[in-house]
Amino acid sequence: MPRSPSPVVLYEDNHLLVLNKPAGLATVGTTDRPSVYRWAGEYLKQKYNKPGNVFVGIVSRLDTVTSGVLVVARTSKGAARLSEQIRHSRMRKVYQTVVEGQLASDAGTLENWLRKDDAAHRMRVTRADRDDAQLARLRYRTLAQLHDKSLLEVELLTGRKHQIRVQMSAAGHPVWGDRKYAATTPAVGAGIALHSSVLELEHPTRREPLRFEAPPPAAWAALRLSP
């Protein structure tokens, strides 16, 4: 089995570890499979020569097939305060994605009601009156396009599982390579064309604003489409 790619450290201090996660690496997983959780624990243990287990707080996730900026807490205080920011929508997340086809508008907002389909391990668009329905909203703008694909910037206004993937598919423009959500196009390297490009948050103890950015993976060059 080929060795899984490792994250790149963008920032670290006593409370935070900010990474650029490669596509193909899970955020969390079973103990015998590579994951950000497992990698971060080993990285911190070796770098700071810590005996026993170290604290790694997963406060949000990126899908295995998605790449980009991801914050991990190094302390329980950091984890609690970052989780609070997420609950109150004070953490800003911006993605770049390549989708199939061209959208009718260069910019806009998508709004859907979603539900979890646990048996299929996916989300589905549903009716608003279902007890398990969750409102999902995102804002997008087109950065570049060719006849068969569009490069978009997407800002999450809510945080639902697989949100960009299912909402773009429901709009008739699946994420490039995302066969789970009806794409007809091939994978992009080890994942799909969805990348967490910008993360803005408040430092959990210093209370100052922080902004982190990461460019899309090199594999996207094969799509021959750039902003």
In what helix (H) or strand (E) does residue 142 lie, and over which residues does it extend? strand 134-146
**How many Å apart are CA 70 and CA 157, to the nearest integer?**
17
Place of tokens 């997983």: 29
Least confident segment among 22-31, 74-83, 111-120, 132-141 = 22-31
Instruction: Look at 3 and 136; give whichever has higher pLDDT.
Output: 136
Percent of the chain with pLDDT over 90: 91
Q: Does the pLDDT value for residue 208 go beyond 70?
A: yes
pTM for the full predicted model: 0.95
- For range 183-201, the mean pLDDT: 97
Q: What pLDDT does 57 receive?
A: 97
Q: For residue 194, give the nearest of 67, 64, 78 by alpha carbon.
A: 67
Is residue 60 a contact partner of residue 71, using CB atoms and an 8 Å limit?
yes
When the pLDDT of each residue in the chain is averaged and rounded to a whole number, the result is: 95
pLDDT higher than 90, residue 31: no
Q: Tell me which of 13, 32, 63, 178 is the catalytic residue.
A: 63
Domains of the chain: 8-216 (3.30.2350.10)
Kindly tell me if the per-residue pLDDT of 151 is higher than 70.
yes
Contact 216, 67 (CB under 8 A): yes
Structural tokens at position 217: 């993976």
Percent of the chain with pLDDT over 70: 96
The reply to whether 13 belongs to the active site is no
pLDDT at 217: 96
pLDDT bucket at 53, cuts 50 / 70 / 90: confident
Quickly state the pLDDT bin for 225 (edges 50, 70, 90).
confident
CA 42, 78, 11, 64: dihedral to nearest 10 degrees? 60
On the question of pLDDT at 4 being above 50, the answer is yes
